[in-house]
Structure 1
Amino acid sequence: MNTKQKVVTKIESLAFEGKGVARVDGKVVFVRYAVPNDIVEIELLRNKKNFAEGKITRIVEPSPFRIEPICKHFGVCGGCSFQNIPYEVQLEWKRRFVVDAFEKIGKISNVEIKSVLPSPKIFGYRNKMEFSFGTSRWLTDEEIETQTEISTKEKQFALGFHIPERFDKVLNINYCHLQDERGNTIVNSIRNKAFELDIPAYNLRNHIGFLRNLILRFSFTTNELLLNLVTTSQVGEKEKKFLDWFKENFTSSELVDQLLVTTNDSYSPTAFGNIEILKGNGNLFEHIGEVRFRISPFAFFQVNTLQANNLVLKVIEYANAKEKIVWDMYSGAGTFSLPLAKVAKTVIGLESLESAVEDAKFNAQLNGIENAYFIAKDLHTKNILQELSKFPNPEVMIIDPPRSGIHKNLLNAIITIKPERIVYVSCNPTTQARDCQEFAKYYDLVEIQPVDMFPHTYHIESIALLVKKG
Structure 2
Amino acid sequence: MTEQYRLIIESVDYEGKGVARLDGKTVFIDGALAGEEVLAEITKRKPSFDKAKIVEIITPSKDRVTPECPNFGMCGGCSLQHISFDAQIQIKQQVLIDNLKHIGKVEAGEILPPVKGKPWEYRHRARLSARFVIKKGGALVGFREKASSYVADMLECKILPKYVSDLIPYLRELVASLSIRERIPQIEVAVGDNLVILVIRNMLELADSDETKLREFVDKHSKENNSLQIWLQPKGPDSCYPLYPQESPRLSYSLPEFNLEMPYYPTEFTQVNPYINQQMVSLAMELLKAEENETIADFFCGIGNFTLPIARTAKQVIGIEGADALVKRAKENANFNGLGNKVSYQVCNLFTVDEKWLQNLGKFDKWLIDPPRDGAVELIKAITPEIAPKRIVYVSCNPATLARDAGILVQVHGYKLQKAGIMNMFPHTSHVESIAVFELC
Tell me the TM-score normalized by structure 2.
0.91
Contact in 2 for aligned 1:449/1:463 (Cα 8 Å):
yes
391-400 or 30-39, which moves further after superposition? 30-39
1:378 aligns with 2:356: no
Residue 303 of structure 1 corresponds to 272
The structure-2 alpha-carbon separation of the partners of 1:162 and 1:272, relative to structure 1 and needing over 3 Å to count, comes to farther
Residue 140 of structure 2 corresponds to 158
Contact in 2 for aligned 1:251/1:278 (Cα 8 Å):
no
The structure-2 alpha-carbon separation of the partners of 1:49 and 1:39, relative to structure 1 and needing over 3 Å to count, comes to same
Out of 229, 246, 250, which is 2:218 matched to? 250
Residue 318 of structure 2 corresponds to 348
Q: Find the aligned partners of 1:34 and 1:178 in 2 and give their Cα distance.
A: 23
Out of 440, 451, 469, which is 2:410 matched to? 440
Q: Deviations over 1:214-268 (max 9, x none)?
A: 122222x43x322222211254xxx5534321212213532352412323346xx
1:130-141 paired onto structure 2 within 5 Å: 130-134=127-131
The structure-2 alpha-carbon separation of the partners of 1:108 and 1:232, relative to structure 1 and needing over 3 Å to count, comes to same
- Compute the displacement of 1:155 (Å): 6.9
1:449-464 paired onto structure 2 within 5 Å: 449-464=421-436
> Which structure 2 residue ranges, 5 or more long, are not aligned?
none
Q: Find the aligned partners of 1:156 and 1:51 in 2 and give their Cα distance.
A: 41
Contact in 1 for aligned 2:350/2:376 (Cα 8 Å):
no
Residue 394 of structure 1 corresponds to 364
1:129 aligns with 2:122: no
2:57 aligns to what SS in structure 1? strand
Contact in 2 for aligned 1:348/1:372 (Cα 8 Å):
yes
The structure-2 alpha-carbon separation of the partners of 1:265 and 1:160, relative to structure 1 and needing over 3 Å to count, comes to same
Contact in 1 for aligned 2:205/2:234 (Cα 8 Å):
no
Aligned AA (2:332): F
Residue 438 of structure 2 corresponds to 466
Aligned AA (2:209): K
Residue 241 of structure 2 corresponds to 275
Q: Find the aligned partners of 2:38 and 2:266 in 1 and give their Cα distance.
A: 45
- Compute the displacement of 1:387 (Å): 3.1
Residue 286 of structure 1 corresponds to 253
1:218 aligns with 2:191: yes
The structure-2 alpha-carbon separation of the partners of 1:253 and 1:340, relative to structure 1 and needing over 3 Å to count, comes to same
Q: Find the aligned partners of 2:418 and 2:305 in 1 and give their Cα distance.
A: 23
- Compute the displacement of 1:390 (Å): 3.6
Give the CA RMSD over aligned residues. 2.2
Q: Deviations over 1:34-62 (max 9, x none)?
A: 22222222222221122111222332332
1:228 aligns with 2:210: no
Q: Deviations over 1:125-145 (max 9, x none)?
A: 111122011356xxxxxxxxx
Q: Find the aligned partners of 1:158 and 1:66 in 2 and give their Cα distance.
A: 31
1:173 aligns with 2:147: no
Q: Find the aligned partners of 1:283 and 1:25 in 2 and give their Cα distance.
A: 60
Tell me the TM-score normalized by structure 1.
0.86
Contact in 2 for aligned 1:282/1:297 (Cα 8 Å):
no
Contact in 2 for aligned 1:199/1:211 (Cα 8 Å):
no
1:419 aligns to what SS in structure 2? coil
Q: Find the aligned partners of 1:193 and 1:465 in 2 and give their Cα distance.
A: 48
Q: Find the aligned partners of 2:145 and 2:384 in 1 and give their Cα distance.
A: 41
Aligned AA (1:55): K
The structure-2 alpha-carbon separation of the partners of 1:84 and 1:272, relative to structure 1 and needing over 3 Å to count, comes to farther
2:115 aligns to what SS in structure 1? coil
> Matched residues, percent identical?
29
1:36 aligns to what SS in structure 2? coil
- Compute the displacement of 1:318 (Å): 1.2
- Compute the displacement of 1:157 (Å): 4.2
- Compute the displacement of 1:198 (Å): 7.1
Name which structure has the greater RCO, CA cutoff 8 Å, separation 6+.
2
Q: Find the aligned partners of 1:318 and 1:261 in 2 and give their Cα distance.
A: 39
1:125 aligns to what SS in structure 2? coil
Contact in 1 for aligned 2:139/2:175 (Cα 8 Å):
no
1:328 aligns to what SS in structure 2? strand
- Compute the displacement of 1:365 (Å): 0.7
Q: Find the aligned partners of 2:384 and 2:227 in 1 and give their Cα distance.
A: 47
Q: Find the aligned partners of 2:15 and 2:374 in 1 and give their Cα distance.
A: 15
Q: Find the aligned partners of 1:163 and 1:103 in 2 and give their Cα distance.
A: 34
Number of aligned residues: 431
1:34-433 paired onto structure 2 within 5 Å: 34-109=32-107, 111-119=109-117, 121-134=118-131, 152-154=134-136, 157-167=139-149, 169-195=150-176, 197=177, 201=181, 209-219=182-192, 221-222=193-194, 224-235=195-206, 240-255=208-223, 257-265=227-235, 273-279=239-245, 280-281=247-248, 283-288=250-255, 289=257, 290-322=259-291, 323-369=293-339, 370-382=341-353, 384-408=354-378, 410-415=379-384, 417-433=387-403
Aligned AA (1:307): I
Contact in 1 for aligned 2:418/2:439 (Cα 8 Å):
yes
1:13-24 paired onto structure 2 within 5 Å: 13-24=11-22
Q: Find the aligned partners of 1:198 and 1:40 in 2 and give their Cα distance.
A: 48
Q: Find the aligned partners of 2:169 and 2:220 in 1 and give their Cα distance.
A: 18
Aligned AA (2:428): H
The structure-2 alpha-carbon separation of the partners of 1:91 and 1:51, relative to structure 1 and needing over 3 Å to count, comes to same
The structure-2 alpha-carbon separation of the partners of 1:319 and 1:198, relative to structure 1 and needing over 3 Å to count, comes to closer
The structure-2 alpha-carbon separation of the partners of 1:19 and 1:273, relative to structure 1 and needing over 3 Å to count, comes to farther
